[in-house]
Amino acid sequence: METELIVTYVVCDDVVKKLEIKDDIQARMSIAEVMTTAIFAAREYSDNIEKARIALKRSGDIPSMLSKSQLNRRLHNIKADAWKAVLQELAMGFAKHNENVEFVIDSCPIYACKLVRQNQTKLYFKKQYLGYCAAKKEYFIGFKLHLISDVNGGPIDLLILPARESDIGSFKKFDLNLPKNSRIIGDKAYNDYKYEDRLIQEKQIFLMPIRKTNSKRKGSEFFAKIRKGKRRIIETLFSCIERLMPRSIHAVTIAGLILKTTLFVLAYAFGKCAVPPTEASFETPTTSALRTSGGEI
């Protein structure tokens, strides 16, 4: 756990420096320490910030720990771009183990509340938050976590959008900063011939969804079975992320729910760093530079 904590801090600190985010002169805790505390809370305490705060203060890992209210204010002041940059930093490390340049796309529901409580909430009264979960065969209120991972289960990019957004519509909002000739495997919800052709022409990226029975582009049945097998990795990934989550995510604002969901993805990603898919040790550009220079992590 100590090593994971140090790696988390090193990556967060490197991202803060890259984005040129400055700490206040009077700040007791750095932004990197605040980010590390939040990710540690998601990984070890189901996002219970207070438990993580006490644990890190008692262990001496972060001796200048802020109070609960001060820590929450600092945490919510961190912009979404910083969290996404942390995931991108980790994705660079995962890319070393994805020699075939294959990726998987899927979504999972993030419940804000049950449908029967829709009239009791003041935050999620708009229709855009009404979604349908095919696995549970029920409607829900909340968001969808759209995630791209490599075929080894390493998260690459994410979007958290209102539940009403379709999977293919949400997929079109990704920047897709992937290598040329990358292949993205999706389920039947990602069938869109025009967008597939556009991706090939503009970015040389191949979208390879599982075809519907009436599809005009069925392709080989043999390769369809291979794609189905590779797509299961993201279902396992979602299961691992859900294990980190509590039964219900406590958030009093929409931004808070999005932040906590992002933290659970990052917590899983850092845990994935500790168990790389090959015998080679996982290294982000930051940790690699530390080892080269003779530093310890």
The residue type at 84: K
Compute the distance between CA of residue 19 and CA of residue 283 in angstroms, rounded to an integer.
20
Q: In whole numbers, what is the pLDDT of the chain averaged over residues?
A: 86
Compute the distance between CA of residue 282 and CA of residue 22 in angstroms, rounded to an integer.
29
Q: What is the pLDDT of residue 296?
A: 40
Angle between helices 31-44 and 68-76 (to 10 degrees): 100
For 200: left if phi > 0, alpha if psi spans -120 to 50, otherwise beta; the answer is alpha
Write the pLDDT tens digit of every residue in 113-125: 888 777 777 888 8
Write the pLDDT tens digit of every residue in 219-237: 666 567 777 788 889 999 9
Q: What is the pLDDT of residue 293?
A: 37
Compute the distance between CA of residue 95 and CA of residue 89 in angstroms, rounded to an integer.
10
Asked whether the predicted pLDDT for residue 100 surpasses 80, the reply is no
CATH fold, domain 99-252, is Nucleotidyltransferase; domain 5 (3.30.420)
Asked whether the predicted pLDDT for residue 142 surpasses 80, the reply is yes
Compute the distance between CA of residue 121 and CA of residue 90 in angstroms, rounded to an integer.
36
Compute the distance between CA of residue 66 and CA of residue 136 in angstroms, rounded to an integer.
41
| Spans of all domains in the chain | 2-78, 99-252
- What is the reported pTM? 0.87
